[in-house]
């Protein structure tokens, strides 16, 4: 993966085999473990998508560990509607991505 600063608030990421994505960091709050970003351009924005926003918030569990809550918001061009199949496929893809991160962190407890 190649990271490249484009301008303030934007970051372009090249991902081999997947193309590129340009996203804008909307909120970065390390103190409260909050991160929001919006994909504004890239190969993942197929019609009818205009942009996709992601919101993440991590909270400590009383018995140890962390729970991260995520919200994805899809914005379409005009009045276009997304199908249930599209939404379900993307929900599964996001869950897989989250699971991969969780697995990595559990395998590398001294990561940060």
Q: What pLDDT, in 10s, does the model give residues 30-39? A: 889 998 889 9
Dihedral (Cα; 81, 90, 66, 110), 10-degree rounding: -140
Which DSSP helix (H) or strand (E) runs through 28? strand 19-29
Query: pTM of this prediction?
Result: 0.77
- Examine residue 19 and state whether it is found in any structural domain, yes or no: no
- Examine residue 42 and state whether it is found in any structural domain, yes or no: yes
- Examine residue 73 and state whether it is found in any structural domain, yes or no: yes
Q: Which CATH number goes with the domain that contains 47?
A: 3.30.530.20
- Examine residue 78 and state whether it is found in any structural domain, yes or no: yes
Handedness of CA 48, 11, 53, 89 (dihedral sign): positive
- Examine residue 13 and state whether it is found in any structural domain, yes or no: no
- Examine residue 71 and state whether it is found in any structural domain, yes or no: yes
Confidence class for position 75, pLDDT limits 50, 70, 90 = very high
Instruction: Give the chain's domain count.
Output: 1
Query: Residue 53 forms beta bridges with which residues?
Result: 38, 73
Residues 81-100: tens digit of each pLDDT: 999 999 999 889 888 878 88
Task: Name which of 58, 44, 51 is nearest 24 in CA terms.
Answer: 51
Structural domain containing residue 65 = 25-107
């Amino acid at each position: 993966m190649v990271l490249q600063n484009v301008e303030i608030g934007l970051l372009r990421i090249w991902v081999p085999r997947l193309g590129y994505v340009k996203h804008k960091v909307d909120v970065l709050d390390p103190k409260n473990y909050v991160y929001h970003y919006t994909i504004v351009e890239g190969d993942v924005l197929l019609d009818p998508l205009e942009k996709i926003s992601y919101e993440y918030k991590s909270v400590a569990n009383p018995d140890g560990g962390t729970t991260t809550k995520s919200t994805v918001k899809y914005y379409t061009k005009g009045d276009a509607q997304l199908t249930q199949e599209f939404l379900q496929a993307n929900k599964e893809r996001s869950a897989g991505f989250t699971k991969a991160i969780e697995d990595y962190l559990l395998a590398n407890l001294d990561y940060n």
